[in-house]
Amino acid sequence: MANTLQKFSARLGESLRSSFRTRLFAGITAIILAVSAVFASILLYQQYHSQKISSAHEGDLLARLLARDVRLAVFAGNRQQILDAAEGMFSFRDVQSIEVFDREGRLIVRQARPMDESVRYSEFTAPIPGLINRQMEQSLLVGKQWDSNPQASIGAVSITVDNSAADRQMLRLTLTALLATGGFLAVGILAAYLLARGMARPLQQLSLAASALQGGDDSIRVQVDSGDEVGQLADSFNSMVDAIRERKVELERALTELCDMNVMLEEKVRERTAQLESANRELESFNYSASHDLRAPLSRLTGFCTALKEEYADRLDDQGRLYLERIGAVGDQMGKIITSMLTIYQVQRREMNCRTLNLSEIVQAVVASLRETDRGREVNVSIREGVMAYGDLKLIWLAMENVIGNAWKFTSAREVGRIEFGSEEMEGECIFFVRDNGAGFNMEFADKLFAPFQRLHNYEEFPGTGIGLAIVQRIMARHGGRIWLESIEGVGTTCYFTLPAGAAAEQ
């Protein structure tokens, strides 16, 4: 039982905390209950009080009237007359008993109806005055003068009055009041309920609408026609929903525009890429055909130069023969440049056939062929064993020829050249290097290294077409690798390059 009560009160508390409607309803109900209780109490108290006063009056009056009526009879000692008077008084139904006493307080007459225990009785006494003056007559109904001089009394009367009628009246009144209060309460509670519901409903609607809005329904509207604060709140909510919808539309439009622009941009990028690719291809084929076209006149030049040498060399002096030599050398140089241009084209166009390569062995072979063609040089070469890479054999070979060839060439001024090939791990990437103690170069010009035909040294000092590193860079780029050089002038150069490590694991 206590448990149930506890549960109920807990639920009520929960309900009061969570529901505005319940709180409002409970509040109004409590106020109505309190007000009606107070009013009913006041009413009943007033009624009871006035009833009591009027009953007292009535009793007093009866007592006084009897005292006046029996005065002469008491004075005369006429018992019969007293009885008659008492009989007369008995005609009042509420009178229960009448007693008349003489001056000494002896009971002279007693008239009584049978007593009912359940009924409440009131007793009223009045003295029987010896003299009744004018003033006393006047105060018979109202006033205190009647009892003002008890010494002058010749006896006393006592009347017992049945209060049950008055009590019944009072009970009826109380019941009526309670009924009225109950009715008032019922109506009040109903009104409070309706009021609470009326006030809570728009709030509930707002709450539901807010949930719907949160759920993505931006066409939701709250229908509240009242112009009060809740109505204003609903209007504000509706305009907020409108604003949100507008924002959403704007956002969507902006997004669509962005998407369109992206698509346009991508289209443009594709277009440009295609243009660039086609321009690149044109350039490549121009390079190719130019190289071929240049070869024909060059071959004629060399041909005539040879003819001149063979047929007229004996008719030229030393100076003339030297010029002829030089023309031949220049022709050779030009031939090499044209070959390099063709090599670049072939590097770009070659279909790659990648596999795992032993770089150490390639470097070894390149060094061996350099030693063969340049026997006079003393070069210390150290090659780390078993350095592996993944790539196209022909292109990697070509790259190594160029890189090692450079090291070989630029160490030519050293009494003992030194070339080192190896690899090192840096930030998880395998970096290959070729280090030499050659002439080196000023790092200021490092950006010129990979441009075709850019030379950092005199041709006489270190001959070459100036295209070797351009070729190597293209080869590395085609493999997805990088190449860079570090150098100190007069100390040496290190050429670093990478080939994608991931491809090595592709085996």
Partner 1 sequence: MEGISILLVDDNEDDRFLTMRILGKLTLDVRVDIARNGDEALAILAARGEADLPAAVMLDLQMPKIGGIKLLGRIRELFSQEQLPAIVLSSSENPADVAACRELGITAYLPKPLDLATLREALAPLLTSP
The residues binding partner 1 (CB under 8 A) are 291-292, 295-296, 298-300, 302-304, 306-307, 342
CB of 392 to partner 1, least distance (A): 16
Residue nearer to partner 1 on the CB measure, 211 or 299: 299
Residue whose tokens read 């001959």: 463
* β-pairing verdict for 483-488 and 492-497: antiparallel
Residue nearer to partner 1 on the CB measure, 203 or 342: 342
359 three-class SS: helix
Q: Per residue, what are the HEC states of 307-344?
A: HHHHHHHHHCCHHHHHHHHHHHHHHHHHHHHHHHHHHH
Q: Judge whether 347 and 474 are in contact, CB under 8 Å.
A: yes
Tokens, residue 299 = 């071959």
Q: Judge whether 122 and 88 are in contact, CB under 8 Å.
A: no
> Measured on CA atoms in the order 179, 185, 190, 195, is the torsion positive or negative?
positive
Residue nearer to partner 1 on the CB measure, 398 or 485: 398
Residue nearer to partner 1 on the CB measure, 328 or 422: 328
CB of 330 to partner 1, least distance (A): 15
Residue nearer to partner 1 on the CB measure, 189 or 298: 298
CB of 400 to partner 1, least distance (A): 22
CB of 310 to partner 1, least distance (A): 9
Residue 152: what residue type?
A
Element (H, E) at 111: strand 107-112
Residue nearer to partner 1 on the CB measure, 130 or 328: 328
Tokens, residue 468 = 């070797």
DSSP labels for 377-410?
A: --EEEEE-TT-EEEEEHHHHHHHHHHHHHHHHHH
Residue nearer to partner 1 on the CB measure, 275 or 299: 299
Tokens, residue 99 = 């007693």
CB atoms within 10 A of CB 322: 11
Element (H, E) at 497: strand 492-497
Residue nearer to partner 1 on the CB measure, 327 or 342: 342
CB of 420 to partner 1, least distance (A): 36
**In the 8-state DSSP scheme, what is residue 468?**
H
CA distance 60 to 140: 10
